[in-house]
Chains A and B, each alone.
Chain A
Amino acid sequence: MRISFKKIQTIFMSWETRKNYLFSCVLFTFMFIVASIVSPYFLTYKNISQLLIQMVTLGFVAMGQAYVLVSGGIDLSVGSLVSMTTLIIALSPGVDPARLIIGFLLAIIAAVIVGILNYFSRMILGIDPFIGTLASMSIVQGLAYTISIGTAGTAPKHLLMIYNGKLGPIPVVVIIFGLVAFIAAIILEKTKTGLRIYAVGQSRQTASYSGLNTRQIILLVHIIAGMLICLGGVFLTPRISAGSPIVGSVFLLDSIAAVVLGGTPLTGGRGSITGTIAGTAIMSLINNFLNMLGVTIYWKFVAKGAILLAVVAGGSFMSGSITKKKI
């Protein structure tokens, strides 16, 4: 039996569902097992809880990115928004515990504004989201720098308390993340709104002909994304004990990689939160593992870039576009 590209493709495509997370879960399990075998240090409580905490920020940001990607767009401003959030939280005025509340409210408002800005350039101005969010990334990053060039401020005391807190063996932040992720997953995968988000991502034209208000749906998507990214920034602040205009940059690449690894293609209309979390786990695992091996940060970039390319190519392969003639 001749095994051709086409045949393997057909096999993949036949059990493809909208949610698409089977592959990423399998990959994660595989990597987890390999890591456990290769290093005795991997399965320790200290390392695993370290891993989970690192997953939190990336997880929030990736979920925000996932919502945008499923709706048919992309968000390049996520990293700068994370940085901006840390600055807002760390520099918020007032006295504990009010300081945390004020900071949080300001951060959410800022995030929603950025979300609306991204919606505006995409739907009202009709600018391609790649360019539109590139522009908002620049704006937000610039604003972050005007607030502070280096690290600034301190994390509010109560936030540090939450960050260090544990419920039994599980860190509190992980529980909070779990709850938010659960709700985010339910909204996207099980509600009427979520179904419509998928629809808009698959074809705005068809969605429009089916009577959906595509503008309203995409506005909602960008607001949700903004809020999720904000949460990511909130829980990053205690990790660095300050605010920083550059700390968020790495999350752009990582969030896209996590989302795509999790089965959400860049073309939109498909994917899941569950898959995104699996993808986040994979990215964090890679980070964690490379750290353990003592790899420098520069090689980590090389590794992540290579993985992203491999994953997107794999997605291309599975959707059949690799065999299409390219002119």
Chain B
Amino acid sequence: MVNSSTLLDMKKIRKSFSNNLVLNDVNFSCRNGEIRALVGSNGAGKSTLLKILIGALSADGGEIFFNSNHVKINSVNDARELGIAMIFQDFNLFPYHRVYENVYIGRELHKKGGILAVSQMRDGVADLLKKMDVQIDIDAYVRNLNLAEQQMVAIAKALLGQAKLLIMDEPTAPLSTKEALHLFNILKDLKNHGVTVILVTHRISEIFQVADVVSVMRDGKIVETLPISEVNESMVASLMAGRSIDAIFPERKISPGKKIFSYSYRDEKIKEPVEFAIREGETVSLFGLEGQGQRKILRSIFMGSHKDGALLIHDKSIERRNPKILIRSGVVFISDDRVGEGLTFNLPILQNLIMPYVEHRMGVIIKRKAKVISNDIIKQLNIVLRSPLQKVSMLSGGNQQKVALGKWLSLKPRIMLLDEPTKGIDVNTKSQIYDLIAELADRGMGVLMVSSDIIETIGMSDRILVVYKGMIVREFVGKGSVSEEELLKAAMGILEN
């Protein structure tokens, strides 16, 4: 309901990426002087909604009202002028500029001729920091500050611009508990000065320390907005879960065999090493919320070095680690970045498919054999195309992924590492890819998967390893043996005793 104390009102915001509907007529509003927590699973649409709000993306439909005025936010500058400021996870600061230079950039104080009025800017920043009750060396280069201090600089920068609405994306991710507390105090103080704050976070327990109201987003819609006093962690978790299943997962025919892969990953910043094994025909998932380290672990297998940890394939230790050696040992990696890493985008489908393996005579590719290999894969995976000589960039996302996956088939890999296997792919193709993975698993291939799609994770995995803050905190064994809510809670670090 719109009344005079409503600061922001986003109505029926709609946004699609290719065939994917990411924001489904979202209605989101907040009041003046409120601290709003915005939570939701990965892929729920939070980042997209906020990017539209700050002008980094344009919506396909819907309207935005700010201070009761209908506004059009077409660029980052439009948002800035309205007083909407966002602090990204990477802070968007200049590492080689000093604190006061970062705060004033774009609004520099200067004397005649453009010469910077350094002492005035320093005083201005000193004032601002004092109001925020923060101690930082004003002359320091931002690159020499720790993350918590950098965050303070980013906030100061937003405040200098008279921000009325401050949006923070995962603000406590780089902070210690003490620093987080300090941040919350600053935010509460801002609230008293009339600044409205939107906090996007995965750390559900923290919202109870600082937020007034929480909005839960799910499947491109805001499902519920409630005052903090009326919710608890469990409720939030259930609201976040409960998505509709739109793809059917294949039945598995065999049960896992002997161990073929084992990994022990050590990150110097994290106390315990991550250790797990994969058996023949088994599909294992590393599941966690954004930024918990599951992707880092997966990628370290293929692209790390022996310093990251010990890797054993069929009980043979892999000493030197690089993609070539791993492929030869039967481990293949399918990246989440189809364009950059998975495919050679401007080459024809045929070249992409034969890239790992093709028969040749003294280095010259035997064309006939190449066509045979390529056609085999196209048929097997049902890749929809006009001709194998078409460029891969012309295919749909789903078919591109089939090419990225399919090219490895002739090598008969033993372990397949999948990073977001169905990202940005339509429902039908998703099903086909699930079928393919299940078939390969039935033939004895082991799969290690990282997916931010919780339904996919539950539907496809024989075992789920929950990753939180870089460590494995729980393991769920048995396909379909865990509910979404339970898995989500585990991923949030909520331990049920």
Contacts and interface: CB of A to CB of B under 8 A. Distances in A.
Interface in B65-79: 76-77
Interface stretch (B108-116, B260-268, B428-436, B479-487): B108-116
Residue of B80, B97, B157 with highest tally of chain A CB at under 10 A = B97
A207 B76 CA distance: 11
A68 to B, nearest CB: 17
Contacts of A327: 303, 322-323
Contacts of B96: 17-18, 198, 202, 269-270
A138 interface: no
Interface stretch (B87-95, B130-138, B241-249, B356-364): B87-95
Contacts of B105: 195-196, 199, 207, 210, 212
B113 A206 contact: no
Interface residues of A, number: 27
Contacts of B94: 198-199, 202-203, 206, 269
A47 interface: no
Contact of B115 (A191, A208, A212): A191
A325 B116 CA distance: 41
A190 interface: yes
B114 A325 contact: no
B445 to A, nearest CB: 25
Contacts of B101: 195
B106 A325 contact: no
A196 B76 CA distance: 18
A211 B77 contact: yes
Given A18-B141, A198-B94, A198-B96, A190 B116 contact: yes
Contacts of B92: 203, 205-206, 209-210
A164 interface: no
A44 interface: no
Nearest to B307: A325
B375 interface: no
Contacts of B77: 211
Interface residues of B, number: 26
Contacts of B234: none
B410 interface: no
A192 interface: yes
B94 to A, nearest CB: 5
A195 B116 CA distance: 9
Nearest to B113: A191
Interface in A148-194: 186-187, 190-193
A208 B105 CA distance: 11
Nearest to A270: B96
A192 B110 CA distance: 7
Contacts of A216: none
A134 to B, nearest CB: 22
Given A196-B105, A199-B105, A327-B303, A191 B110 contact: yes
Given A198-B94, A210-B92, A192 B303 contact: no
A14 interface: yes
Interface string A253-278: 00000000000000001100000000
B93 A206 contact: yes
A85 B304 CA distance: 53
Contacts of A212: 105-106
A193 B141 CA distance: 19
A193 B97 CA distance: 14
Given A14-B144, A211-B80, A192 B93 contact: no
B24 interface: no
B114 A192 contact: yes
Contact of B97 (A187, A198, A325): A198
Given A198-B94, A211-B80, 15 more contacts: A14-B144, A17-B96, A187-B114, A191-B116, A195-B97, A195-B105, A198-B96, A199-B97, A202-B95, A206-B93, A210-B92, A210-B106, A211-B107, A269-B94, A327-B303
Interface of A: 14, 17-18, 186-187, 190-193, 195-196, 198-199, 202-203, 205-212, 269-270, 325, 327
| Closest CB pairs A-B (n = 8) | A211-B106, A191-B114, A192-B108, A18-B96, A210-B106, A192-B110, A206-B92, A192-B114
21 contacts: A17-B96, A18-B97, A191-B113, A192-B108, A192-B114, A195-B97, A195-B101, A195-B116, A199-B97, A199-B105, A202-B94, A203-B92, A203-B94, A206-B94, A210-B92, A210-B105, A210-B157, A211-B76, A211-B80, A212-B105, A269-B94
